[in-house]
Structure 1
Amino acid sequence: MSDSQKVSAAVAKLYDTYPFPPEPILDEPPPGYNWRWNWLSAYNFCTGMKPQKQNIRILDAGCGSGVGTEYLVHLNPEAQVIGIDLSAGTLAVAKERCQRSGANRVEFQQLSLFDVEQLPGEFDLINSVGVLHHTDDPIRGIQALAKKLAPGGIFHIFVYGELGRWEIQLMQKAISLLQGEKKGDFRDGVEVGRKIFASLPETNRILKREKERWAIENHRDENFADMYVHPQEIDYNIDTLFELIDASGLEFVGFSNPGFWDLERLLGKAPEIIERTKDLSERQIYRLIELLDPETSHYEFFLARPPLTKANWKNDSDLLTAIPEIQPCIDGFPSQVFFGHDYKVVNLSDGEFAFMQACDGNQTVGEILKNVELSLDGVRSLQRQQLIILSLSQ
């Protein structure tokens, strides 16, 4: 057995022992939404406009217990979804989850990322959350998945960040040292870790970090094992992250939490320092941000296979003839106060509210503005906030 096969076998054993994520299985669609898993919303984020088709193919690469897969099926009613994972035990949970909630447009296969070429065809949306960093060769993994992405398709990725997981890394190494020959016995690893945390003084940095950031989810052994006794983990910083991205051969579209990567939120009170960043590259600015705010426990971002057509809506005539509709991933509308696509509270002005109420998917922006007091810049603001989705008029 090769080293790569040994790593894959160990990872599969962990998730056979502790299927992950451990969210409860429901006899109904899952609550809420994750806009990154909604094709309309994700495509709009990446391009600024509505996709031309919704009968797409989606691959959930490393689907685990099917929590994300279930959302992908329910949030994309015209899509064909395939989920792959190494762990037979975890896949059994995923199948039950989707059967119970009526997510019946999904096919599951026990398959490694490295063998994804065995799947027929290409995919318009690939989702890989918390997977690449658990392989022994993430570059090989991302390249294998990139080959299955259709032209104009988008790829949603989540990988760990080293700066925000520093204390986790220390605990992982401590548990490994104490396990000795029992390393690979994941139940023993969880027991060792629990006892360490129970013994550490309240002033201990590792314990304080666990309590303030992770303890609520880690009361479940599945979460604790995934965090502290995983047999394979690679954590990234901006420099190594973009080495991974560049190796994919795909276009970097952007981080899905752009607010975090806004330098103004950190240095807005020091314009002379902002001025010094003018000669820095985009990646250097990202690196500066994470150095100044080392809470980055993960990176979540989109890649794309060109050609990916993008709209900017700067041209007034294009915007006036565009057809707006409501972003599908919001909660509480119609109301002037509701939750936006990222579950942050939105407060609409009277004009914004009237405009959104008129977005029926049939009228153009120009037609709506004949009866609503809102400027074109106001419409652009709604679009930038991901509250409406615009499509080019035919």
Structure 2
Amino acid sequence: MDRQASELLEKIRQQYETSPYPRVPLDDSPKNDFNSLFIHNIVTSYYLRYQKIIETKEKVILDAGCGTGYKALILAEANPEAKIIGIDISEESVKLARHRLEHHKFENAEFHTLSIYDLPNLGIKFDYINNDEVLYLLPDPVAALNTMKAVLKPQGIIRTNLHSALQRSGYFRAQEVFRNIGLTDSNPGDLEVEITLETMKSLKDGVDLKSRTWQPVYEAEGGKQSVLMNYLLQSDNGFTIPEMFNMLRTSDLEFISMINWRHWEIMDLFKEPDNLPVFLAMTLPELDVEQRLHLFELLHPGHRLLDFWCGHPNLEEPVVQLCEWTASDWLSGRVHLHPQLQKPKVKEDLIECITEQKPFQISKYIGVPTIALVEIESTIAACILPLWEGVQPISDLVERWCKIRPLHPATLEPISQQAAWGEIKKLLTKLEVFLYVLLERST
């Protein structure tokens, strides 16, 4: 690493040493934050990549840039019996992270004061690497990706993200303003924060920079951290979708999915997706993933983060998508409930909906993979109740459907096995899109 890069990394270290991030109270627990647990459970990304189920027991998970350890706590909560290892260049942050995991009684965790660029020194290979809110700060993000790839197991997965150059353009301009007046020449402190606040408040409300970036939270109690992480953030860089994919190609890593993939669907930007102008109707289906994501962001740069999963390329086994399943696959297949829905409260709510014959709103527990309400009619919802006891053969759910609804409600004719299979396939296909259920082919 050259001198300029080393100096930049030292400035970043100093900022987080004096202002550790995130400032989440020690007692705060993510146990009921189903969305965060869904994202950080390695089952989610592994299933998206391989269409298979993975056990979290004894998996080794790295939180690269762990800060004060709240994400490491989420990783520990979401992945029972996994080994959690955290690294950060800020020694003070590492101390807080270690204390946080100990406080919440997670013993299978360790933390090291270490740069991402020095990861090989640990001598450990990882099943999953969480690199959240870090990559866009580093002087050489491609080198960081290469380093993480070097310690990733062959079927391992990396979660990382970049700041969007388009969505965050106002803050990059603001950072340039405060850089020009000398507020980031050294490690910003309380004085620099106060000057920043006074400057932004003094601007007219109609001034473009203020209208794009100013929020009341900056003046609220605890707002200092937000000012530092936005207006005065050291080495904050923005990227576009093409730049993101170029970085992956340079690092020989393969894109898997955006973290909140359903919120990057370009067809959702149109008033009438089924009635597009002819040129668009012909063009959009021909675009590859990179082109679709790039076009989405050009039209609607609403995401602060380009947040994604990636992994080693060249899979040995071709992935068989659900749409490619044969009749034999369905007959012998098994269905799992996503682990983050495997909660007593969710089961209680389902039983209540079945008993009272009202729709079961499954999306209210995990909303990340959907943009609208996902409901299941109470009768058919009763078919998936056994999933809270464990993995089920799909054929068993069909048998259960035949018992729950033995007669057609209109004709009172007996329900055929074929009709029952059709209903169960329709239900599972609907829920699998959102990963509420995970379907497994027999091997």
For normalisation by structure 2, the TM-score amounts to: 0.82
Deviations 1:31-71 (A, max 9, x none): 41411211223322333331256321101111111111011
Aligned partner (choices 286, 297, 300) of residue 293 of structure 2:
286
Which residue, 155, 164, 167 being the options, matches 1:161?
A: 164
Shift of 1:342: 3.1
| Residue in structure 1 matched with residue 438 of structure 2 by the alignment | 389
Do 1:50 and 1:389's aligned partners in 2 also have CA atoms closer than 8 Å? yes
| Matched AA of 1:2 | R
What is the aligned-residue RMSD (CA, Å)? 2.5
Amino acid at match of 1:364: P
Identity of aligned residues (%): 22
Shift of 1:266: 1.7
Moved more, 173-182 or 298-307: 173-182
SS of the residue 2:346 aligns to: coil
Structure 1: unaligned runs, 5 residues or longer:
none
In structure 2, the residue matched to 1:341 is 366
Separation in 2, partners of 1:361, 1:196: 58
Displacement of 1:120 in angstroms is: 1.6
Tell me which of 383, 394, 404 is aligned to 1:355: 383
Task: List per-residue Cα deviations over 1:143-184 (Å, max 9, x = no partner).
Answer: 000111101111111211111101111111111112268543
Change (3 A) 1:352 1:116: farther
User: How far apart are residue 385 of structure 1 and its match?
Assistant: 1.6
CA distance in 1, matches of 2:399, 2:119: 52
Distance across 1 between alignment mates of 2:327 and 2:57:
27
Contact 2:161/2:306, CA 8 A, preserved across alignment: yes
Matches within 5 A, 1:191-340: 191-211=194-214, 219-267=222-270, 268=273, 269-272=275-278, 273-306=280-313, 307=315, 310-313=319-322, 314-330=325-341, 333-334=346-347, 335=350, 336-338=360-362, 339-340=364-365
Give, in whole Å, the separation in 1 of the partners of 2:58 and 2:436: 23
Aligned to 1:141: 144
| C-alpha distance in structure 2 between counterparts of 1:213 and 1:316, whole Å | 57
Q: Does the C-alpha gap of structure 1 residues 127 and 180 become closer, same or farther in structure 2, counting only changes over 3 Å?
A: closer
2:171–2:231 Cα contact (<8 Å) kept: yes
Letter in 2 for 1:297: R
* Corresponding residue of 1:113: 116
- Aligned counterpart, 1:18: 19
Query: Higher mean Cα deviation, 151-160 or 36-45?
Result: 36-45
Q: Is the 8 A contact 1:163 1:296 kept in 2?
A: no
Structure 1 residue matching 2:238: 3-state secondary structure: coil
For residue 85 of structure 1, the aligned residue among 84, 88, 94 is: 88
SS state at 2:374 partner: strand
| Contiguous gaps of at least 5 residues in structure 2 | 351-359, 402-419
TM-score (normalised: structure 1): 0.92
Q: Separation in 1 of the partners of 2:241 and 2:147?
A: 22
Higher relative CO (Cα under 8 Å, sequence separation at least 6) belongs to 1
Residue in structure 2 matched with residue 41 of structure 1 by the alignment: 44
Equivalent residues of 1:322, 1:364 under 8 A apart: yes
Q: Distance in 2 between matches of 1:217 and 1:123?
A: 40
- Structure 1 range deviating more: 300-309 or 143-152: 300-309
1:247 Cα offset (Å): 1.8
Letter in 2 for 1:292: L
Aligned partners of 2:17 and 2:92 also within 8 Å: yes
- The equivalent residue for 2:404 is none
Larger CA Rg, structure 1 vs 2: 2
Q: Displacement of 1:298 after TM fit?
A: 1.0
Over 3 Å counting, the alpha-carbon distance change for 1:142 and 1:32 in structure 2 is same
Does the aligned pair in 1 maintain the 2:397–2:424 contact within 8 Å? no
Q: Secondary structure at the match of 2:263?
A: coil
Are positions 1:75 and 2:78 aligned together? Answer: yes
Corresponding residue for residue 8 of structure 1: 9
1:335-360 Cα offsets, whole Å, 9 max, x none, are 21242433565311235412321223
CA distance, structure 1, for counterparts of residue 331 and residue 172 of structure 2: 53
Separation in structure 2 between the aligned mates of residue 348 and residue 11 of structure 1, nearest angstrom: 48
CA drift at 1:199: 1.1
CA distance in 1, matches of 2:287, 2:220: 38
Aligned length: 394
Out of 206-215 and 370-379, give the one that drifted further.
Answer: 206-215
1:370 is aligned with what amino acid?
E
Cα separation, 2, equivalents of 1:226 and 1:174: 15
User: Secondary structure of the residue that 1:126 maps to in structure 2?
Assistant: strand
C-alpha change, 1:250 and 1:54, in structure 2 (3 Å) is farther
Aligned-partner Cα distance in 2 for 1:240–1:341:
31
Residue of structure 2 in register with 1:366 after alignment:
395
